[in-house]
Amino acid sequence: MGVKKKGLKKDEVDPKKKEEEIEKIIQPRESEGEEEEKEREEGKSRAKYEALLIGLEHLNITRNIYKSHNVLVQQMIDRTRDEFLWGEYMKCDGMPDPACVKQMNTYLSLWEEDRHENMEDVIKKTEEVLPLMNTMERLIENPEEWEVPTPVEQVTRSQRAKVQERHKIFNTMKKLQITKLNRATYAILLDVSPIVDSENNVLQHYISSNLVQLGLWGNVVEKNMRVKGTEFESLGFSFELPRSLMGIRGAVRVMRVEYDHYSKQCPSYPTPPIHPDDRVLLQDRIQAHLVLFQEKARKEEEEKKKIKLKADLESRAAREAEQERLRLLAQDKKGKGKKGSAPPPPPSSSKPGTKSPRDTRRSSIKSLKSDVQEVLEIIENETKEEEKDPATKAKEKLQQRIDMYKIKIDTHELNLRRNRIMAGIIVFDMLYIPPQPKKVASWVICELEHPQELKPRPWAADYKPPAPADENSNVKKTPEEIEREIKAQEAELQKLLQVHLKLPSTALWFEPPTIVRWDEEKNYWTNQGFYGISFNEGKQTLSFKTMHFGIFGLSAFRFSNLPFQSWELRPENPNKAVIALSAAAVQAEFAIEPGLVTLVKFSSGNKPPVKGIIDVPMKLKDLIKEMRHQGVDIFPDCDSHCYIEGLPLKDIPTEKHLYYCMALTANALSFSWSRWNLLSGYEKLIMQFREKVLGEPESIQKLLLVTPHLTSVLECNESSQTFSDKAEPGLPVFADLYNLALEYSSPKVKQQMSLATPIFVDSVYQFLLATLVLSYA
């Protein structure tokens, strides 16, 4: 007979069964949907991590090519520098070496001591000096073209002193240039009899060259009220004096010079340094993403362990509590009915001032919740940033970048980051006529002044501008009051100088210019003191009234031809590419070859073409400088987006890396503007591309999408009804254009790509960086 199984009493519970029920109560069960969602999220996370790893590998391949190319580019720069210096040495033209401080000081001293100060000699000397000053300025701005760059930490005291001396020499030359012109003007005024009209006692004189145009006019007798102004037709300048200046003995000088030695003194002239955020390389940022991703994964793993530990602790505590409850219940039943029984002892005891295990668990759980909340907030913020509308995100990024580069200027100060002084400057002043020689018998008596120098006649109009209208006032003026105000305003305007100015033909004018005056005290151009400004587009003349004589300039908006309307980069041969840019009023085509750029085509509607630079191979820096000088600025700086509306501004590290990839493939692939790029957002760069094997028909144009994390060929095209960022089926993940081209392109294209020299690649890259076609089209 078998052993009889020991049974349980009626009120007793099987401990194992009870433990299983407790586990069911305290352990959270995830639904099948939650588990699937969790697996999907983990899958996405793994895929993103793997894509980052592949991306970093691809970017490093391209970066290593850049580094190896850069070594050869630097060798070419060093060789070009040596050839340039040898060419300067072999000129033997009697001019000093601008890099030699001693020679420049000697030249400056001899020029200052030279007393051949009639206007013809000074103008001739100006034509000699200005090219030398331009070279000196170039040396100061780009010393690496003349000398091997020295690391900042290795610059010696003598090198710093040499740089300071160069700046001092250049500034002295600028001052001496205007001083010489003033002395030559004074020499003319010492005896005005050859240039005075004997009938009306008015002097008038005009002399011109390619660089300097001088007109003199004035009364030589007091109270000559018959004339009040004149026109220098060749100079394109006329004026009328106010009544307060009529009849005064003096000379008015109008001198235009085809250079501007004032603007560079302005606080707003220098290009601001590139912001640190714009210096970040794409691969460095991807590397940082990987580190953050790994750190986030580590934190999530720790979080899981904490949550599991928390669940285990809670499970254990619940199990102990239930077991204690059952024990007490059983003990209570056994002792039921017994009097005087002592109360059961507490389940645990602790010393005063110490925390119980339960308090410790509560504290750890509270700390855990705090950490979890912090992680959740970070993830939530990242999710919100990713979920933003692309247009909103692009707008916010643009504003951030504007804040990075915006500068502060005074109310009437001209911002030279936005504007530029065009076609030189105009000196417009009124001068005292020095004592004239008198002929007595056979003698000529001259009264000598001290000092013998040009003396300007100070004058400022006693003008009261009309008070601004009070927008909050509800009082209506009667027609009589309005008429009186108009007449009073016209009477006030009669106190001002009236000037009519024809725009010089040495620059292209795409918008009406702004007249400005040089403020000697504040060292900047100001638009204060000008009234009644009007522009005649047909005659290309600007009319205005002014309170002051002074140094005048015509200011033009720099970026009237930005953003671009379209662009195209196409290969011509293994080491030559052509880029066509279409702007608001300009169409230009450039040929890019190793180390040189040539402007091969240029048109600007009914305006004349640029002068002296078409079909002339030039260094990119020189070409940009000359085009800007002639009023064609299609080369944005790092802060130009602050002054141009309607830009599809793009992520800078991504854009720069893409330009290098374009340069690497520019001899085998053709790229062009896409209409989808404008509204695609800050992190999506879109353009068209096609293979172009020399001597073979062109392939079909396709759309290329580039983001900070991947590059793909899209299913949709330029003529699609709607845009879709869906990639072509079966296309692997690529981090950049170059790695995509290596896998995606035909063998002939890859063979053609391999023929590009590092110098050609760098030339294309520098041109794309100078135009930023994806952010400015």
Give per-residue pLDDT as tens, 475-508: 778 888 888 888 888 889 999 999 999 999 999 9
Average pLDDT over residues 21-39: 59
Express each pLDDT in 702-740 by its tens digit: 999 999 999 999 999 999 999 999 999 988 889 999 999
Least confident of 132-146, 456-470, 567-581, 667-681: 456-470
The model's confidence at residue 331, banded by pLDDT at 50, 70 and 90, is: confident
8-state DSSP, 107: H
Q: What percent of the chain has pLDDT over 90?
A: 60
Query: Does residue 26 carry a pLDDT above 50?
Result: no
- Integer Cα distance of 232 and 245 in angstroms: 19
Closest residue by Cα to residue 734 from 743, 725, 726, 721: 743
Identify residue 441 by its one-letter amino acid code: A
The model's confidence at residue 387, banded by pLDDT at 50, 70 and 90, is: low
What does R_g of the chain's alpha carbons equal in angstroms?
Answer: 40
Average pLDDT over residues 407-431: 96
Report CA-CA distances (Å) from 50 to 41, 44, 726, 734. Answer: 14, 10, 20, 12
Tokens coding 533: 């400004």
Beta partners for 60? Answer: none
Identify residue 431 by its one-letter amino acid code: L
Express each pLDDT in 540-594 by its tens digit: 999 999 999 999 999 999 999 999 999 999 999 999 999 999 999 999 999 999 9
- Which pLDDT score, from 0 to 100, does residue 44 have? 72
- Integer Cα distance of 650 and 549 in angstroms: 46
- Integer Cα distance of 529 and 534 in angstroms: 15
- Which pLDDT score, from 0 to 100, does residue 371 have? 47
DSSP per-residue codes, 231-276? EETTTTEEEE--TTTTT--EEEEEEEES--SSGGGSTT-SPPPPPG
Average pLDDT over residues 394-421: 92
Query: Does residue 129 carry a pLDDT above 90?
Result: yes
Report CA-CA distances (Å) from 740 to 228, 366, 665, 745. Answer: 74, 51, 11, 8
- Which pLDDT score, from 0 to 100, does residue 379 have? 41
Task: Name, in order, each residue with C-beta under 8 angstroms of 521's C-beta and a sequence gap of 6 or more.
Answer: none
Is the bond preceding residue 451 a cis peptide, omega within 30 degrees? Answer: yes
- Integer Cα distance of 265 and 270 in angstroms: 9
- Rounded to 5 degrees, φ, ψ at 427 are -95, 115
Average pLDDT over residues 130-149: 90
Higher model confidence: residue 252 or residue 452?
252
- Integer Cα distance of 156 and 211 in angstroms: 39
Tokens coding 462: 């006693």
- Integer Cα distance of 315 and 321 in angstroms: 10
Report the chain's mean pLDDT, rounded to a whole number. 87
Contacts 24+ apart (CB under 8 A), 433-436: 433/189, 433/192, 433/218, 433/220, 433/249, 433/250, 433/251, 434/186, 434/189, 434/190, 436/190, 436/191, 436/192, 436/193, 436/220
Least confident of 303-312, 596-605, 648-657, 673-682: 303-312
- Which pLDDT score, from 0 to 100, does residue 356 have? 55
The verdict on pTM exceeding 0.85 is no
Query: Does residue 94 carry a pLDDT above 90?
Result: no
Least confident of 135-139, 438-442, 501-505: 438-442
- Which pLDDT score, from 0 to 100, does residue 19 have? 54
Number of C-beta neighbours around residue 772 at 10 A:
25
- Integer Cα distance of 616 and 291 in angstroms: 50
The model's confidence at residue 173, banded by pLDDT at 50, 70 and 90, is: very high
